[in-house]
């Protein structure tokens, strides 16, 4: 079975079984009020206890995933609450109960490894590596580094097998080639300010609207950056955003199979983590409760984070009562490599398409009718 399913954020089943299976946290206002009323020491203790609860809940979710044959989990970024927010002058080391916190963090890593449930992270839309407000960029760098620090602490590999996925969340000033290239150059410069391990884990996702369709993301952040900076960003595919913001090359639509195959190849042998969703109706950004049909098998190993409102309930319905037995990450990698002849065809075609002009799409294969390098 090529398609592996991933849970995002929280388990709806666990939450419905016990309302305490909810991630806890203090808002900026709540923390300020607690400091005023009970003092900073009491407020830090509350933060510490909330984080301990969230880490323990994360372990429970990882256990739940394995029991239900769910192979991947996108971590809930509210685990650390305002401690992960660079605008707060609170360091993790400021918290009480350091021994318990570090033990709980290690347990997350131990459970992920022993249960063979891979993990990922995705910050919210306010995390930007490029923006007219440089202070926002600097804050985002700190936030991304914090998440990578956490992945280091749980023993995750220093690569995109535990990816930090990021939408660009910013548009070029104009819709022309030079502006897109300048955007990519500035993004790359800011990328270099990240910690090394953060750089090794960062992957970029196509957007639901604006400049960064799947093809434009591939063309400028993978192909252009590779040719100009000797580094092409790994890319994570989102099917719903590809439908809402379709790729077009000189009037020819880039088919889903081509985008999936090309994005797959940018992971260089690591089984990619992509996102599959469905709108409540055609053209809608609002997520459906569940998928109307299983995710297509594109012919290569992919871990699909299922982005629907019924969360794990929907995933278990997809797998049905006779879910197949699991295979190891090593076996997944070997199987993925055997598919490369097919993947490379899509990747190389789209790579060349990003550098040429006159092309047409025929039955999923890109064919050239002329143009210049």
Identify the CA nearest to 78 among candidates 115, 42, 53. Answer: 53
Question: Alpha-carbon distance 130 to 115, whole Å?
Answer: 37
Which residues are registered as beta bridge partners of 276? 306
What is residue 351's predicted lDDT score, i.e. its pLDDT?
77
Question: Alpha-carbon distance 332 to 70, whole Å?
Answer: 15
DSSP sequence for 46-95: HHHHHHHHHHHHHHHHHHHHHHTT--EEE--TTSSGGGG-TTS---GGGS
What is residue 356's predicted lDDT score, i.e. its pLDDT?
64
Which residues are registered as beta bridge partners of 134? none
Structure letter (DSSP) for residue 309: T
Helix (H) or strand (E) run with residue 359 in it = strand 359-362
Predicted TM-score of the model (pTM) = 0.88
Identify the CA nearest to 257 among candidates 363, 359, 353. Answer: 363
Complete domains list, the chain, with CATH? 3-368 (3.20.20.150)
Cβ atoms of residues 31 and 43 within 8 Å: yes
Sign of CA dihedral 141, 147, 153, 159: negative
What is residue 349's predicted lDDT score, i.e. its pLDDT?
74
Question: Alpha-carbon distance 258 to 249, whole Å?
Answer: 13
What is residue 344's predicted lDDT score, i.e. its pLDDT?
54
Cβ atoms of residues 191 and 202 within 8 Å: yes
Question: Alpha-carbon distance 261 to 299, whole Å?
Answer: 9
The residue ranges of the chain whose pLDDT is under 70 are 1, 321-345, 356-373
- Other beta carbons within 10 Å of 361: 20
Please report, for the chain, how many H helices and E strands are present, in that order: 14, 12
Two tokens, residue 312: 């794990």
Reported as a single tens digit per residue, the pLDDT across 242-267 is: 999 999 888 899 999 999 999 999 99
* Residue carrying the six token digits 């880039």: 254
* Residue carrying the six token digits 């891979």: 118
What is residue 2's predicted lDDT score, i.e. its pLDDT?
81
The residue length of the chain stands at 373
Give the strand pairing for 252-253 and 248-249. antiparallel
Angle between helices 329-338 and 340-353 (to 10 degrees): 60
What is residue 346's predicted lDDT score, i.e. its pLDDT?
73
């Amino acid at each position: 079975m090529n398609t592996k399913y991933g849970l995002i954020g929280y388990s709806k089943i666990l939450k419905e079984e016990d309302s305490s299976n909810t991630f806890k946290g203090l808002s900026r206002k709540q923390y300020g009020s607690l400091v005023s009323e009970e003092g900073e020491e009491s407020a830090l203790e509350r933060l510490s206890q909330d984080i301990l609860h969230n880490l323990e809940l994360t372990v429970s979710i990882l256990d739940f995933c394995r029991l239900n044959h769910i192979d991947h989990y996108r971590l809930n970024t509210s685990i650390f609450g305002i401690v992960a927010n660079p605008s707060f002058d609170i360091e993790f080391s400021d918290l009480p109960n350091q021994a318990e916190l570090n033990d709980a963090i290690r347990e997350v890593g131990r459970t992920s490894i022993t249960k063979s449930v891979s993990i990922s992270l995705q910050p919210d839309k306010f995390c930007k590596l490029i923006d007219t407000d440089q202070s926002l960029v600097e804050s985002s760098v700190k936030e991304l580094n914090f998440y990578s620090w956490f992945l280091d602490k749980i023993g995750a590999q220093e690569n995109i097998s535990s990816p930090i996925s990021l939408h660009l969340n910013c548009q070029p000033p104009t819709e022309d080639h030079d502006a897109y290239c300048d955007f990519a150059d500035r993004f790359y410069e800011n990328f270099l300010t990240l910690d090394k391990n953060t750089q090794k884990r960062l992957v970029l996702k196509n957007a639901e609207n604006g400049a960064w369709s799947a093809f434009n993301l591939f063309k400028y952040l993978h192909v252009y950056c590779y040719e100009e900076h000797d580094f092409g960003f790994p890319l994570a595919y989102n099917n719903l955003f590809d439908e809402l913001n379709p790729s077009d090359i000189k009037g020819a639509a880039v088919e889903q199979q081509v985008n999936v195959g090309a994005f797959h190849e940018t992971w260089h042998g690591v089984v990619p983590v992509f996102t599959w969703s469905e709108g409540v109706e055609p053209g809608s950004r609002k997520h459906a409760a569940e998928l109307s049909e299983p995710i297509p098998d594109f012919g290569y190993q992919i871990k699909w984070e299922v982005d629907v409102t019924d969360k794990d309930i929907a995933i278990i319905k997809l797998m049905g009562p006779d879910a197949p037995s699991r295979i190891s990450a090593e076996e997944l990698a070997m199987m993925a490599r055997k598919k490369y002849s097919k993947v490379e065809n899509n990747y190389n075609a789209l790579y060349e398409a990003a550098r040429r002009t006159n092309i047409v799409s025929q039955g999923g294969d890109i064919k050239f009718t002329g143009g210049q390098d």
